Chain A
Amino acid sequence: SAVISQKPSRDICQRGTSLTIQCQVDSQVTMMFWYRQQPGQSLTLIATANQGSEATYESGFVIDKFPISRPNLTFSTLTVSNMSPEDSSIYLCSAGGQGGETQYFGPGTRLLVL
């Protein structure tokens, strides 16, 4: 199994600013993902964080708004840029899932944009 931590756990931000969320895995993993969970909603995949190359974004999500870094096999960051109140959500990273293995989730970062 993989243990995943995220920082910060929560934040309150002003509109127009940016926040970078860190995700650390306790073991090397091939696959890392970033999800968004809006209040009372399910999880929606934002992008796949690829090590050594640009992230792969899902429909409706773009690199300018959600730049992602993946410098190695245990760490990734997601930046929420030029925030607006609509960006208030829980942002979760996950790891694993390759070849049918279990995908593990971090505890999430709760973001409130005022």
Chain B
Amino acid sequence: GQQLNQSPQSMFIQEGEDVSMNCTSSSIFNTWLWYKQDPGEGPVLLIALYKAGELTSNGRLTAQFGITRKDSFLNISASIPSDVGIYFCAGPNFGNEKLTFGTGTRLTIIP
């Protein structure tokens, strides 16, 4: 089946730093989704990407849909304490609505 690998697995940064994480796939996706999961909550959609090469921003977050359609990147600028959580990439299996989730990147902000 399809697999989505995220790197890094975890990040420890100081408040104010920029963050970059990526997601790679063994197969092509036509849509890339980035979710954030806060402790004790379900995932919340941050950004959706629908076209190869697309670059989309949502406040301090910027995500890109890779040209090969096998990868995506998420950047967070000027991190703040509420950015702490687990970030998942996800993509719908080709032709249906079922989502495959990435392995996740856990973001921790060091005081």
Of the listed stretches A61-69, A75-83, A100-108, chain B binds A100-108
Number of A-B contacts defined by CB within 8 Å: 51
Contact with A along B95-109 (1 / 0, CB 8 A): 001111111100000
Assess the B104–A42 pair: CB atoms within 8 A.
yes
Assess the A102–B44 pair: CB atoms within 8 A.
no
Of the listed stretches B12-20, B35-43, B70-78, chain A binds B35-43
The chain A residues found within 8 Å of chain B, CB to CB, are 4, 31, 33, 41-45, 48, 58-59, 92, 94, 97-98, 100, 102-108, 110
Residues of B contacting A: mostly: loop
Contact partners of B1 in chain A: CB under 8 A: 59
Assess the A103–B97 pair: CB atoms within 8 A.
yes
Partner of B45, one of A42, A98, A102, A107: A102
**What are the 9 A-B residue pairs with the smallest beta carbon separation, nearest first?**
A105-B42, A97-B97, A43-B101, A42-B101, A105-B43, A107-B42, A108-B42, A92-B42, A42-B104
Partner of B99, one of A98, A103, A110: A103
Interface band, chain B: 20 to 34
Contact partners of A48 in chain B: CB under 8 A: 98
Partner of A97, one of B35, B43, B99, B103: B99
Contact partners of A103 in chain B: CB under 8 A: 33, 45, 97, 99
- A98-B97 in contact given A43-B43, A107-B40, A107-B42 (Cβ < 8 Å): yes
The residue on B at minimum CB distance from A101 is B97
Contact partners of B33 in chain A: CB under 8 A: 103
Bound form: Cα–Cα A48–B96 in Å: 11
Bound form: Cα–Cα A102–B58 in Å: 15
Assess the A107–B41 pair: CB atoms within 8 A.
yes
